[in-house]
Amino acid sequence: MQNDQRPTTTLWRPTGPKELDLVRDLDWRAWPPRLPEQPIFYPVLNEDYAIRIARDWNVKHDGAGYVTRFEVDADFLSRYPVQQAGGSTILELWVPAEELEEFNSHIVGKIELIREFH
């Protein structure tokens, strides 16, 4: 029997309490639409970078920071070039807000909460 399971890529997303509540409301299966001042959804490609943002930025601005992890269809992700936002480990994908619904449809499984900072 042939395995039809497609390869996935693991992504992380640092987030604050408001966005995390919206993800919870979406049964941990999708990211909420961006606000007008958020033209890009940017998941990151390594856990350490996500931890730094959640701990050092989200806590300072929102009182709490969270790190989530999720899998996305690897073939679909190939349309988004990796963006280096700083050092060699500061890597992000930039998903235009208008493509987020399609991006969400390629999430495999559920979004997991893996760390929290207060």
Domains of the chain: 8-117 (3.20.170)
Q: What is the pLDDT of residue 3?
A: 44
- Average of per-residue pLDDT across 30-45: 95
Going by C-alpha positions, the residue among 102, 97, 96, 104 that lies closest to residue 80 is 96
The pTM for the full model equals 0.91
Strand partners, 70: 11
For residue 13, the SS3 value is strand
| In the predicted structure, residue 1 carries a pLDDT above the cut 60 | no
Summarised one tens digit per residue, pLDDT across range 12-22 is 999 999 999 99
Residues 101-113, mean pLDDT to the nearest whole number: 98
